[in-house]
């Protein structure tokens, strides 16, 4: 069997147990230059098992997998792709089936590979302005005539009252920025913006003066995963034929310690008049997202989606196997559930009510950005969502908050290689295309 070079290895999927001897009844059955994934017709959690099998196959040092045979449908091929792809092998899969299916899966894999690679980059490579530039370039290249951008950076953020991004990023030598990208395929400058996407783009999170531990800081290059996911979602929707106007906002900063860094006890006054006392400089994601949500609300878009690697509480609640979903609008939450089911991505709705806005009280301001106890205290993910809800219009109608608990894995598992996963891209792409 070819395992040490780039010659594709044939991978088939079968419900028939053809192996003899020690391989009999095993999920992976190897014969010459072919690997068969054997799953009985009635196998429970079939797609999960295919993803796990793909992870095992990748660990055999196979460089390129070629899926073959009639048993592969779209969902099973995508499950294999998620399990097999990893750092340096993000696109090393050949799909099978009708040409349209192969093209659809290849386009999807290319977008996920771009988003995952972006998230995996080092903090030295990927600083705030570079993140904005790479996202702009990638999406512009898909539709040069229909994409325009505006970038607000450094002191201009303060001048234009984008105070969350400005304060979080002012301690770094690398300037913070707010990217606004407008995809407008209609040709009409006055066309309605049908949806806005807002992404947390913290390219490195030291925790600021509420400094993280070494272990807690090690993977914080991934803290711009929300920006990578929403940019990837727009790119995927465009590849799939999106014909409506959508705006993308990336809130980009480094959260660093210096003589200029924001401090505990500081009070930020936002553009909408909300005042916020800093109780934890490591609760910075919600501070930058607030600016993006206000900018998105100004468009009057009926749907606003934000995505962020926001809270450890969401990881604790979901085990990292689900994206945590928050909404005050049950109808739009139901649409998110429908899109997640259609795309095979796992999401779980956690509690959010208007009174969650009051869960981080301050004597000196309208709210604090967290509480001064570990992890922000009980219900930390819901409390963070409650904070964000202060910055969307119309009582949260049409707004969805994705806390990306499964966006990045510091170590490999039975399902995933180490690094970014891209989870959330397909769900959000489906939402902005079909809402």
What are the angstrom distances between the C-alpha of 427 and each of 288, 342, 360, 396, 430? 23, 8, 30, 20, 5
Token readout for 353 is 């009510």
DSSP summary character for residue 186:
T
* Catalytic residue numbers, as ranges: 212, 286
DSSP code of 190? Answer: T
Distance CA 116, CA 63 (A): 18
Name the phi and psi angles at 11, rounded to 5. Answer: -120, 120
Q: 301 and 400 in contact (C-beta within 8 Å)?
A: no
> 32: alpha, beta or left, given left = phi > 0 and alpha = psi -120 to 50?
left
- How far apart are the C-alpha atoms of 360 and 57, rounded to whole Å? 47
Two structure tokens written together for 226: 């929300």
CA–CA dist 175, 154 (Å, integer): 5
Pairing of strands 34-38, 9-14: parallel
Separation in Å, CA 15 to CA 22, 38, 66, 70: 18, 6, 19, 11
- Nearest Cα to Cα of residue 279 among 382, 360, 355: 360
- Smallest CA-to-CA distance from 57 within 25, 22, 24, 92 is with 92
Residues 6+ apart with CB under 8 A from 428: 197, 229, 230, 233, 305, 307, 339, 402
């Amino acid at each position: 069997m070819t395992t040490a070079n780039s010659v594709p290895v044939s991978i088939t999927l079968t419900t028939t147990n053809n192996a003899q001897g020690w391989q009999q009844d095993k999920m992976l059955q190897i014969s010459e230059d072919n690997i068969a994934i054997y799953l009985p017709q009635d196998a429970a959690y079939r797609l999960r098992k295919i993803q796990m099998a793909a992870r095992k196959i990748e660990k055999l040092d196979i460089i390129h997998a070629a899926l073959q045979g009639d048993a592969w449908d779209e969902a099973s091929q995508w499950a294999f792709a998620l399990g097999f792809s990893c750092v340096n092998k993000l696109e090393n899969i050949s799909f099978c089936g009708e040409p349209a299916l192969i093209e659809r899966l290849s386009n999807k894999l290319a977008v996920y590979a771009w988003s995952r690679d972006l998230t995996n980059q080092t903090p030295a490579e990927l600083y705030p302005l570079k993140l904005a530039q790479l996202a702009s370039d990638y999406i512009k290249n898909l539709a040069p005539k229909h994409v325009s951008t505006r970038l607000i950076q450094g002191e201009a953020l303060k001048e234009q009252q984008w105070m969350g991004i400005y304060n979080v990023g002012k301690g770094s030598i690398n300037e913070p920025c707010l990217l606004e990208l407008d995809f407008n395929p209609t040709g009409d400058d006055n066309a309605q913006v049908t949806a806005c996407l807002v992404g947390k783009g913290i390219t490195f999170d030291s925790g600021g003066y509420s400094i993280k531990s070494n272990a807690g800081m090690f993977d914080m290059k991934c803290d711009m995963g929300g920006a990578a996911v929403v940019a990837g979602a727009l790119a995927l929707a465009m590849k799939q034929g999106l014909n409506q106007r959508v705006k993308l906002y990336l809130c980009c900063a480094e959260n660093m310690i210096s003589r200029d860094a924001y401090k505990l006890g500081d009070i930020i006054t936002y553009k909408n008049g909300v005042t916020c006392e800093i109780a934890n400089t490591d609760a910075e994601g919600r501070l930058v997202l607030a600016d993006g949500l206000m900018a998105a609300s100004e468009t009057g878009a009926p749907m606003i989606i934000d995505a962020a690697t926001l809270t450890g509480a969401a990881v604790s609640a979901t085990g990292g196997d689900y994206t945590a979903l928050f909404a005050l609008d049950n109808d739009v939450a139901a649409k998110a559930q429908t899109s997640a089911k259609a795309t095979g991505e796992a999401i779980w709705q956690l509690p959010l009510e208007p009174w969650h806005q009051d869960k981080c009280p301050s004597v000196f301001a309208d709210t604090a950005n967290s509480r001064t106890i570990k992890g922000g205290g009980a219900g930390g993910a819901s409390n963070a969502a409650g904070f964000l809800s202060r910055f969307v219009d119309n009582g949260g109608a049409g707004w969805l908050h994705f806390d990306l608990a499964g966006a990045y894995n510091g170590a490999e598992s039975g399902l995933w290689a180490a690094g970014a996963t891209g989870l959330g891209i397909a769900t959000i792409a489906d939402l902005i295309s079909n809402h």
